[in-house]
Structure 1
């Protein structure tokens, strides 16, 4: 039992019985990794976006829906049993604060030098001009659906490493409050991250920003990486050879060892999944720690909350996942505009998003070092969950006849 949902034997009753959460004081969390059907994941992603992330979420132009999205994320984190904090931070506008939503799943290594902390994040604000379905309703939906897949299945284990889930605010540039963008992630990295790492180490951050737009037509993909040095020429030549088809998720890391570990974990899980029509392109970048001024000037490389981790003096590891935003298909017109709306919730786009979500779920599960449930503490928690689930299944069955 995790969050407010009990696990019943018949799928018909999965959402019908409510029960108490495992107390947050327990410093372990059960993780789950049973297979998920693509159509179920796609349907859940669609509903998450339609119901919660399909309207403008700018802090002033869409104030009410901005607050509603923040509160929904907070409640979902709480329902899944995370330790949750709303962390306010100042902006350039003295009348406006930003608010990051932070959820933590402690591992059995929490508080020790053995803890290897992992972070998954996505920003929840929009510009004043868009509903922000792809940018970044898609990343938020993937984040929350990933949690459902991790925490609401029927095969349990106990994670060794602590996981942090963050919905960042004030990512989008705003002349009044955040003129350079990424205010939420920069504040978190500078002021909060070290406290969550504690005596442990940091595996890195996986950042999702606009990950749903899929276009399999020729010439749908523009070149999005350019540098006078020509370092991206091989990558761009490959795009040209493939007729500039926008059928891939783009993954960016530095060449740093820890970044490669994040990339390898995600790529392995992506390649293990079906739906080969949805491709993956990866690009380890020759970026210094921290980046040089010239590197920072390369457009697109630092256009995501991952940059807050790379740019920090400690040069934390990060993996950036994106569909290339305004460089592909319909988003050439709709990026930061009104047409980034629910018309993008097509079957192809949702299945593309579903594959990313499942690959991320499986990668995170492995990086959390999920131990088999028959360890002593894991077994006792799992047995209690299973017994209660069996009892409530019987109650539901008797009530239905």
Structure 2
């Protein structure tokens, strides 16, 4: 985790420490976008840019593709990570959402490093950096019809309709950690208590400390991905960084009516909402944003910056989250170790023969002394 924390810290300070908004700081936003593209290229991820226009401004979703051996077939269980890189007009956006971007890029690097040494993956992995999330989740809405569905049709043909993907891990504001009592706010506490009794008891018994990551998913549609991430988290060390799981008892967002729509709104505040509306499996990982600690003041404000957010605890919390995401994607992509090459096999056989001959000769020498 220490190595992960160092890498995340460098990425955040270098490319996601200032405003990334198309009006107030378009230059730094382009710098961040160019960095994402260059990283995808370096990783060998076949980067693609999906351009869309809103009110005469150009926006770009960025996609990196790591093909599995099943790509183009109905058996390909696609899995991926998605996170937005833009900010509102007047924030530095280190937690929201530099943290998600740094985590995704590090996971992509880890996976592709293994592929470069010969690891093969059965299932295709997608990495998506969403643009224009802060103006109403526009980027993720645009990408489904403008890039994802056409790409699926080109790549899988008629099999695209039969795919059963694991889905996307969506990251948004994931590095806020606070051990202070009562640092965690709970929206609609009575409704939370009745719907998620275990979570409510855990948080209350811990004096409402903001020491956990939220794993949010629809308990049926996204169960496989949600439970895979939970297993990965629990297998890691550093138990002081906790996980609370929210399996939402809903299947279709279009059926949500008041008062339920208001109750579920805090769970729908990022790009996974558009994925769910299109019936794409997804889980949402977050630190709860403006419901916790410093972000209760700094959310969408100037103090979501390097000085406030890049503490040792926050970086280690983000590191555990990143490592759990890597373990989840690595497992679900079904990797296989590279086969031993013929040259290595021959070398190994000759080595065994030499060892055997030397051993026999030594025994005979001892017997006839």
Per the TM superposition, whether the score is higher than 0.5 is: yes
Relative to structure 1, the CA distance from residue 192 to residue 70 in structure 2 (aligned partners, 3 Å threshold; closer, same or farther) is: same
> 1:318-347: per-residue Cα shift (whole Å, max 9, x none)?
100000001100110000000000021111
In 1: Cα distance, 2:150 partner to 2:45 partner: 17
**Which aligned pairs between 1:2-401 and structure 2 lie closer than 5 A?**
38-91=1-54, 93=55, 95-152=56-113, 156-173=118-135, 181-197=136-152, 198=156, 199=159, 200-224=163-187, 231-232=194-195, 234=197, 235-257=199-221, 259-294=222-257, 295-297=260-262, 298-312=264-278, 315-343=279-307, 344-374=309-339
Q: Following the alignment from structure 2 to structure 1, what is the Cα–Cα distance between the partners of residues 228 and 200?
A: 25
Query: What is the TM-score when the length of structure 2 is the normalising length?
Result: 0.85
Contact 1:226 1:299 in 2 (8 A): no
More helix by share: 2
Shift, 1:90, TM fit: 2.6
Whole-Å Cα distance in 2 between the matches of residues 42 and 241 of structure 1?
Answer: 29
SS at match of 1:189: helix
Larger radius of gyration between Structure 1 and Structure 2 = 2
Aligned pair count?
330
Q: CA deviation at 1:203?
A: 1.5
The answer for unaligned runs of 5 or more in structure 1 is 1-37, 174-180, 384-401
Instruction: Give, in whole Å, the separation in 1 of the partners of 2:129 and 2:217.
Output: 21
Alignment gaps of 5+ in structure 2: 345-369
Cα distance, 1:114 vs structure 2: 1.2
- Compute the TM-score of the two structures, normalised by the length of structure 1: 0.78
**CA separation in 2, counterparts of 1:168 and 1:188?**
8
